[in-house]
């Protein structure tokens, strides 16, 4: 009789390895706003979807609502950031001008060159973007509130630059520094009115630049320069 074959014991099944979760990228607020603006530029506000933003950034909807409250709060923060960037570009130019001049005459010459730059047609897009953002805040309290904070901070910065320039003897302010800061912004932003016309001749641009320079002379250099 054949001997019984020894039975082989089965090796115990290996314990299943714990599933490793993929490291999830957590975007910061700046990245979220940057991508929000990219999506708005691509799809417009009506086509903007939180799902697209979540897919691009990996952020959870709960985190979005935690940071921004709701969709309108997110858009308000993004538009306010864009608004600040547009105006900050002009402020940076003013900072460079005031850092490079040494007396009222050189200050005036530098500002006149800046005025000619402001009148450049290529600046129209920035002014139009700013106008669209302002118009979008109508009837949206959260948006209007964020925009008010951004605008106030920008005016404050220009006011500080003007006061510093006056301290250095570069300008003379006959009006409230805040009012002068607001007026300077109104002049540059108001250029959009001329740019919306059907045609714009070289002579009309020169005339606008000349008028702005006269206004700046009155606002900043009255009694400082004898031509």
Q: Which residues have C-beta within 8 Å of that of residue 117, sequence separation ≥ 6?
A: 93, 123
Separation CA 124–CA 113 (nearest Å): 18
Q: Which of 186, 173, 11 is nearest to 87 (CA)?
A: 186
What token pair was written down for 134? 């302002």
Supply the pLDDT for residue 9. Answer: 60
Q: What pLDDT is recorded for position 23?
A: 47
Of the CA atoms within 13 Å of residue 86, those in its CB half-sphere come to: 25
Q: Find out if CATH 1.10.357 is the number for domain 80-220.
A: yes
User: Could you give phi then psi for residue 58, rounded to 5 degrees?
Assistant: 80, 5
- Between CA 170 and CA 166 the distance in angstroms is 6
Structural domain spans, the chain: 26-69, 80-220
Contact 82, 133 (CB under 8 A): yes
What does each of the 227 residues of the chain score in pLDDT, given as a tens digit? 555 555 556 556 555 665 554 445 567 889 999 999 999 989 998 999 999 999 999 998 888 999 998 998 899 889 989 988 888 887 888 899 999 999 999 999 999 999 999 888 888 888 999 998 999 888 888 889 888 988 998 899 999 999 999 999 999 999 999 999 999 999 989 999 999 988 888 899 999 999 999 999 999 999 888 77
Give residue 89's pLDDT: 83
Distance CA 178, CA 199 (A): 34
Give me the CATH topology for the region 26-69: Arc Repressor Mutant, subunit A (1.10.10)
């Amino acid at each position: 009789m054949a001997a019984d074959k020894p039975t082989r014991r089965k090796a115990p099944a290996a314990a299943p390895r714990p599933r490793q979760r993929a490291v999830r990228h957590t975007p910061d607020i700046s990245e979220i706003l940057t991508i929000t603006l990219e999506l708005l530029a691509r799809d417009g506000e009506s086509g903007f979807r939180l799902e697209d933003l979540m897919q691009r950034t990996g952020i959870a909807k709960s985190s979005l609502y935690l940071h921004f409250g709701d969709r309108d709060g997110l858009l308000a923060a993004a538009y306010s950031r864009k608004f600040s960037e547009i105006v900050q570009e002009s402020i940076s130019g003013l900072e460079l001008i005031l850092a490079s001049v040494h007396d009222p005459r050189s200050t005036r010459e530098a500002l006149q060159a800046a005025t000619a730059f402001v009148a450049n047609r290529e600046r129209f897009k920035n002014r139009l973007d700013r106008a669209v953002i302002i118009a979008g805040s109508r009837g949206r309290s959260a948006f209007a509130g964020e925009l008010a904070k951004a605008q106030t901070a920008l005016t404050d910065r220009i006011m500080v630059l003007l006061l510093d320039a006056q301290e250095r003897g570069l300008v003379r302010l006959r009006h409230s520094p805040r009012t002068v800061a607001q007026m300077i912004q109104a002049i540059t932003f108001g250029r959009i009115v001329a740019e919306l016309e059907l045609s714009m001749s070289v002579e009309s641009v020169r005339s606008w630049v000349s008028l702005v320079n006269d206004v700046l002379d009155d606002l900043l250099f009255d009694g400082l320069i004898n031509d």
